[in-house]
């Protein structure tokens, strides 16, 4: 079946299961339509999970998707439906307490990044014998490749059934919201968790369009950062990132509605591609990415979903980084067939057009937030990424998001 723009990804992406063992801590990625129904129980059996706990939010707990997962597991399951947006640390503690009482030996995360982070946090507490997130040593954004504290016991198996394009399942860390700090604090999961990711477009088909599309922009945001952060061409990473970014730009407009199962599955695979670990040969030209820090800050200050944060911050972020990344932006824009205006960040007009086509918010003023708190956003960005650039320039970029 030929897709928008004449692309024609192989049918086997949709109909044949593939299982890959990509990296330590990520036990396997299983991709294919119907993968949950056919592969969830055998995977749980292979991992020795006899008493799993499903971690999800209240909305998914009331949806047919939970029934699909329970039927596919085919064994007694404990359900924890206490996951909340941004993963408040207390929800992780409560889930871990329930898991201990129930004697669970594996976790199944069902949902987007909040449910995934909650499950990973619960698994970390269980594997390390820790009672509360407050007793864990946090990491720092920008230095997330370090070594976690020594764990106690065996790693906890976490099976992830993702329903968005938030890609938390591919990251070797998770975050918990600390209200007093007004931001999400990262924690490394190295050594404590053994993750298996299941990508199945059927499980993403009923995700509301506004949530699905916004998380797709978040995936695009991070992929553009990965491409633009090098000073020169990357022979290993560029072809994969270009293919993934083309797929995101092509299939996001075609992925609206519950009938767009194949488009959603292709986007799940494309998002996985953006997280491929490949050698990087060039020098990194950036110490951070404005829209990444901004979406974290917008989440902490305004409780906006990170996908929405990327919708608001990506355009201003591309313009903020224009001087350092103009060449790489131009290369990517040319590969996508996007035209750039003079004196403009080369990727800016194309991103603006895509956001408009998708009908996604691009200004804080349309979201009903208190615009007088924009300086709180600036302070949170500087706190997370102090090497990003002059505070005045960050403030001007953030005011451009209003």
What distance in Å separates the CA atoms of residue 189 and residue 21, rounded to the nearest whole number? 18
Angle, to 10 degrees, between the axis of helix 322-336 and the axis of helix 237-251?
Answer: 70
Mean pLDDT of the chain: 90
Which residues belong to CATH 1.20.1090.10 in the chain? 208-399
Phi, psi for 108 (deg, rounded to 5)? -125, 115
β-strand pairing of 18-20 with 26-31: antiparallel
Distance CA 250, CA 56 (A): 30
Tally of CA atoms within 13 A in the half-sphere of 58 that contains its CB: 4
First to last CA, the chain: 41
Biggest CA-to-CA distance, the chain: 62
What pLDDT, on the 0 to 100 scale, is given for residue 244? 98
Q: DSSP string of 131-196? A: S-GGGSPP-BTTB-SSPPPPP-SSPEEEEEEE-SS--GGGSSEEEEEEGGGTEEEEEE-TTTEEEE
Residue 145 has pLDDT above 90, yes or no: no
Tens of pLDDT, residue by residue over 266-295, are 999 999 999 988 888 888 878 899 999 999
Mean pLDDT of 356-370: 97
Please give the structure tokens belonging to residue 164.
């968005």
pLDDT tens digit sequence for 53-111: 999 999 999 999 999 999 999 999 999 999 999 899 999 999 999 999 999 999 999 99
The structure's pTM equals: 0.90
> What was the pLDDT predicted at 42?
96
- Residue 57's φ and ψ, nearest 5 degrees, are -90, 170
Identify the three-state secondary structure at position 356: helix
Domain with CATH 3.40.50.1970 in the chain: 4-203
Look up the CATH number of domain 4-203: 3.40.50.1970
* 15 has a pLDDT exceeding 80: no
Say how far apart CA 259 and CA 27 lie, in whole Å.
31
Q: How confident is the model at residue 10 (pLDDT cuts 50, 70, 90)?
A: low
Q: What CATH fold (topology level) applies to the domain 208-399?
A: Dehydroquinate synthase-like, alpha domain (1.20.1090)
Measured in whole angstroms, the distance separating CA 150 from the mean position of its chain's CA atoms is 26
């Amino acid at each position: 079946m030929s897709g928008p723009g004449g692309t024609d990804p192989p049918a086997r992406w949709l109909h044949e299961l593939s299982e890959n063992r990509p990296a330590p801590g990520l036990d396997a990625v299983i991709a294919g339509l119907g993968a949950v129904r056919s592969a969830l129980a055998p995977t749980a059996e292979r991992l020795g999970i006899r008493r799993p706990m499903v971690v999800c939010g209240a909305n998914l707990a009331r949806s047919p998707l939970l029934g699909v997962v329970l039927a596919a597991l085919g064994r007694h399951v404990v359900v924890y439906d206490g996951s909340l947006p941004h993963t408040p640390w207390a929800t992780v503690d409560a889930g871990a307490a329930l898991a201990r009482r129930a004697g669970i030996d594996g976790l199944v995360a069902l949902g987007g990044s909040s449910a995934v982070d909650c499950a990973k946090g619960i698994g970390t507490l269980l594997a390390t014998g820790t009672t509360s997130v407050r007793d864990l040593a946090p990491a720092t954004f920008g230095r997330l490749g370090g070594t976690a504290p020594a764990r106690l016991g065996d790693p906890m198996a976490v099976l992830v059934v993702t329903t968005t394009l938030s890609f938390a399942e591919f990251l070797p860390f998770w975050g918990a919201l600390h209200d007093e700090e007004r931001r999400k604090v990262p924690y490394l999961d190295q050594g404590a968790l053994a993750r298996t990711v299941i990508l199945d477009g059927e499980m993403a088909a009923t995700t509301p369009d506004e949530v699905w599309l916004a998380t797709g922009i978040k995936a695009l945001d991070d992929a553009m950062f990965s491409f633009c952060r090098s000073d020169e061409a990357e022979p290993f990473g560029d072809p994969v990132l270009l293919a993934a970014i083309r797929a995101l730009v092509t299939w996001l407009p075609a992925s609206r509605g519950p009938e767009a199962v194949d488009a959603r599955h292709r986007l799940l695979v494309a998002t996985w591609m953006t997280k491929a670990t490949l050698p990087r040969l060039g020098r990194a030209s950036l110490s951070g990415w404005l829209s990444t820090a901004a979406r974290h800050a917008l989440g902490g200050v305004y409780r906006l979903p990170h996908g929405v944060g990327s919708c608001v911050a990506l355009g201003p972020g591309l313009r903020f980084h224009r001087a350092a990344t103009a060449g790489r932006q131009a290369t990517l824009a040319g590969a996508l067939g996007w035209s750039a205006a003079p004196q403009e960040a080369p990727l800016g007009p194309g991103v603006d057009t895509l956001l408009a086509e998708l009908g996604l918010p691009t200004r804080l003023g349309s979201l009903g937030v208190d615009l007088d708190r924009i300086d709180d956003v600036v302070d949170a960005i500087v706190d997370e990424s102090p090497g990003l650039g002059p505070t005045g320039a960050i403030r001007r970029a953030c005011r451009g998001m209003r």
